[in-house]
C-alpha cells in the first residue's frame, strides 16, 4: 500500500507539472504597419461600401492589436477616379461609401502614415457563381464526417485563380484554400469543407473569390508558413505582400492590397 500511495503522489506531481504554463522570453521588434486592404465586391451588391483596416504588429503575448489612426488612405482607378477612405475615429478602420468596382480594371492603393507613403497596384478579378452545394454524411478521410461540396464553372478562355473560404462554428479561424485551373481548365470545379464535429443546425458561410496569380502565390506562401492553421495563425517567417514603401524600402508594411468579386452562400447543415 505504501508503494501504491507513493506512486500516486509521484504521478500527481508529474501531472501538475505538465499543466504549468511556461512563457518564453521573446524579443520584440519595432512595430510595423499592417495594411488589411481587401476590396470585396459581393455578387448582388453594388460594392460601394468598402473598408481598409490599419494596425501595427505587437508583442507575441499581447492580445491587443493596436489600431493606426490619423493616416491618409485612398484608392485611384485606372481612369483617374479617386476614392477616399475616411477614418472611423479611433478604430483603425478607414471607410469608403462610394467605391465603384469594375472587373478587369486596375486600382492603386495609397496610404500615407507618419511621413511615409505606401502604395500597391492590383486588378479586380471576376468570379463564376456557385451553381450547386451538396451535403454528404460519409466524407472526410475515414468517410465518417459531414462534408459540403460547392460547384462552380471555370472559364476555359482564361487562366483563373480562386480563393475558397469557409467559416464554421467548429473551427476557430476561417478555412482558406487557394486554387488554380491549371489541371481543370474549363471544367466544373468544386470546393470542399468537412469536419468531424459538424452537426445538424450548424451554419457554414462559404465564399468564393476570383484572385490574381500574384495573390494566389502570396496566399500559398502565407498558409505554408502558418503551418496550415490559416493566415491569422502565428507565422515563423515574414511573408511580404505587394505593398511598397516609396521612400524607405526597408520600412515595409505587412499585408496585401487585393480586389475580388465574391460569391457568398450560407448553408445550414441538415
pLDDT in tens, 157-207: 999 999 999 999 999 999 999 999 999 999 999 999 999 999 999 999 999
- The mean per-residue pLDDT over the stretch 52-80 comes to 90
- The mean per-residue pLDDT over the stretch 21-46 comes to 81
Q: What's residue 206's pLDDT?
A: 98
Between 109-113, 137-141, 227-231, the lowest mean confidence (pLDDT) is in 227-231
Q: What's residue 20's pLDDT?
A: 55
CATH class name, domain 33-126+238-260:
mainly beta
Q: What's residue 232's pLDDT?
A: 46
Average pLDDT, the chain: 88
In this predicted model, what pLDDT tens digit does every residue of 251-263 receive, in sequence order? 999 999 999 999 9
This prediction has a pTM of 0.84
In this predicted model, what pLDDT tens digit does every residue of 150-169 receive, in sequence order? 999 999 999 999 999 999 99
- The mean per-residue pLDDT over the stretch 137-151 comes to 88
pLDDT grade for 10, boundaries at 50, 70 and 90: very low
Q: What's residue 26's pLDDT?
A: 52
3-state per-residue secondary structure call for the chain: CHHHHHHHHHHHHHHHHHCCCCCCCCCCCCCCEEEEEEEEEECCCCCCCEEEEEEECCCCCCCCCCECCCCEEEEEECCCCEEEEEEECCCCEEEECCCCCCCCCEEEEEEEECCEEEEEEEEEECCCCEEEEEEEEEECCCCCEEEEEEEEECCCCCCCEEEEEEECCCCCCCEEEEEECCCCCCCEEEEEEEECCCCCCCEEEEEEEEECHHHHHHHHHHHHHCCCCCCCCCCCCCCCCCCEECCCCCCCCEEEEEEEEEEEEEEECC
Q: What's residue 64's pLDDT?
A: 82
Domain boundaries, the chain: 33-126+238-260
The fraction of the chain above a pLDDT of 90, given in percent, is 74
Amino acid at each position: 500500500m505504501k508503494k501504491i500511495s507513493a506512486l500516486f503522489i509521484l504521478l500527481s506531481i508529474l501531472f501538475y507539472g505538465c499543466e504549468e504554463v511556461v512563457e518564453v522570453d521573446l524579443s520584440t521588434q519595432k512595430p510595423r504597419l499592417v495594411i488589411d486592404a481587401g476590396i470585396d465586391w459581393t455578387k448582388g451588391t453594388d460594392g460601394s461600401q468598402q473598408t481598409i483596416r490599419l494596425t501595427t504588429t505587437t508583442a507575441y503575448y499581447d492580445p491587443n492589436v493596436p489600431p493606426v489612426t490619423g493616416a491618409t488612405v485612398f484608392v485611384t482607378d485606372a481612369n483617374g477616379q479617386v476614392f477616399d477612405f475616411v477614418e472611423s475615429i479611433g478604430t483603425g478602420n478607414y471607410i469608403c461609401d462610394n467605391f465603384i468596382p469594375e472587373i478587369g480594371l486596375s486600382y492603386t492603393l495609397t496610404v500615407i502614415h507618419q511621413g511615409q507613403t505606401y502604395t500597391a497596384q492590383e486588378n479586380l478579378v471576376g468570379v463564376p457563381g456557385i451553381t450547386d452545394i451538396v451535403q454528404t454524411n460519409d466524407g472526410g478521410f475515414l468517410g465518417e464526417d459531414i462534408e459540403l461540396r460547392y460547384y462552380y464553372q471555370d472559364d476555359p478562355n482564361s487562366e483563373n485563380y480562386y480563393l475558397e473560404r469557409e467559416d464554421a462554428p467548429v473551427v476557430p479561424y476561417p478555412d482558406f484554400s487557394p486554387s488554380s485551373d491549371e489541371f481543370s481548365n474549363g471544367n466544373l470545379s468544386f470546393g470542399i469543407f468537412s469536419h468531424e464535429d459538424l452537426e445538424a443546425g450548424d451554419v457554414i458561410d462559404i465564399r468564393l473569390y476570383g484572385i490574381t496569380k500574384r495573390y494566389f502565390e502570396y496566399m500559398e506562401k502565407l498558409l505554408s508558413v502558418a503551418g496550415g492553421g490559416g493566415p491569422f495563425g502565428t507565422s515563423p517567417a515574414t511573408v511580404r505582400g505587394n505593398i511598397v514603401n516609396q521612400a524607405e524600402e526597408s520600412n515595409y508594411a505587412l499585408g496585401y492590397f487585393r480586389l475580388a468579386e465574391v460569391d457568398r452562400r450560407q448553408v445550414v447543415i441538415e
